Amino acid sequence: MSGAWLLDGVLLLAVPAIALASLLSRRVLPALAAFVAYGLLLALVWMRLGAPDVALTEAAVGGGVTGVLLIGAAARLLMPAAAAPPGWPLRLLTALLCLGVTAGLAVAVLALPEPAPTLAPQAAEQLAATQLGNPVAGVLLAFRAIDTLLEAVVLVIAVIGIWGMAPDGAWGGRPGPVQPRLADGSVALLAMLLPPVGIVFGIYLAWVGADAPGGAFQGGSILAAMWILAWLAGLVRPPRIDSLALRLLVVAGPALFMLVGLAGFVVADGFMAYPAAWTKPVILLVEAALTLSIAVALCLLVAGWPMRRARA
């Protein structure tokens, strides 16, 4: 693979350059554009590190959905003219300390033990029992299932936290600012053409994650992105936050996961243990529920807190 060093060299130069561009840019919108590009370049780095699942997640969540969130906020936040920028002694001191942190991490990276400790052999051994083909899916849904459960719960907690910021009179309204139906038709056209493709793609990505790179998070974020696109074009309104259906959708994934985990006490060895004969169907069921909940939670995390009282 003689050409790969060229790609590696370009990435090793481009990623810090774009990070610097984002930090040093004078206006916020170019900084955000650089940040989205940073996410996409990082996805390429993840591919070079042999982690396609992470590359998909970084591109979708780290670059895409975070970018939408930040750009939407930048459009609404008034950035007052900054107070006097910190003087050069403080900046020099901070730069030296950050350099120290970088140096410490670099030393740690170069001093990593050889041969590298790894759990890959154990994962490979146990993967056959889960009947999954994708080792990362095996880790997420079987070996370290409790981490994934807690992560799904973190999403629910974040949604609750954001809803809790609603002004008292606005509780129960529809989250987020009103998105007017866009006057020029191009974004509305995009929002009508792209979601069917995106929904198929998202479901496919979640489904194929059992045996190939993909999974609930990646597929769920594509589904969320399609809804967010339609929302930004003014084609759909978010449901009211006191709607039971919405709340059920948000908790369905983690609740089902938790139930399956508790059922493990009864039908298998313990918490989060799957019964041997039913492992793959149960995992797929949990992954489907998780995909749905993750998509809904991501949409709500981008939409935000209700700003006005619900009218009907």
3 state SS for 230-269 = HHHCCCCCCCCCCCHHHHHHHHHHHHHHHHHHHHHHHHCC
- Select the residue interacting with another protein from 35, 227, 231, 257 (CB under 8 A): 35
Spatial CA neighbour of 300 closest among 241, 234, 255, 244: 241
| Phi-psi sector, 153: left (phi>0), alpha (psi -120 to 50), beta | alpha
Binding of residue 291 to another protein (CB under 8 A): no
Q: Which stretch binds another protein (CB under 8 A): 28-36, 245-253, 269-277, 278-286?
A: 28-36
Question: How far apart are alpha carbons 261 and 145 in whole angstroms?
Answer: 9
Instruction: Considering only residues 218 through 277, tell me which ones interact with another protein, judged by CB under 8 A.
Output: none
* Binding residues among 73-102 for another protein as defined by CB under 8 A: 73-74, 76-79, 82-83, 85-86, 90-91, 94-95, 97-99, 101-102
Q: Report the distance separating Cα 176 and Cα 158, nearest Å.
A: 15
Q: Number of residues in contact with another protein, rule: CB under 8 A?
A: 103
Q: Which 150-189 positions form the footprint of another protein (CB under 8 A)?
A: 151, 154-155, 157-158, 161-162, 165, 167, 182, 184, 186-187, 189
Whose tokens are 């670099």? That residue is: 106
Six token digits for residue 114: 């050889």
What tokens were used for 107?
């030393």
Largest interatomic CA distance in the chain? 66
Binding-site member from 10, 119, 129, 259 for another protein (CB under 8 A): 119
Q: Which of 10, 129, 133, 144 binds another protein (CB under 8 A)?
A: 144
Contact with another protein (CB under 8 A) among 2, 6, 88, 109: 109
Residue 19 binds another protein (CB under 8 A): yes
Among 37, 44, 66, 230, binds another protein (CB under 8 A): 66
Which of these segments, 113-121, 252-260, 263-271, 279-287, binds another protein (CB under 8 A)? 113-121
Cα–Cα nearest to 32, from 80, 77, 82, 68: 68
Measured distance CA(13)–CA(2) in Å, rounded: 19
Q: Given the rule CB under 8 A, which of 49-57, 238-246, 253-261, 280-288 is the region that contacts another protein?
A: 49-57
Choose which of 124, 200, 262, 276 interacts with another protein (CB under 8 A).
124
> Under rule CB under 8 A, which residues in 193-222 are in contact with another protein?
193-194, 197, 215, 217
Token pair, residue 238, equals 């978010």
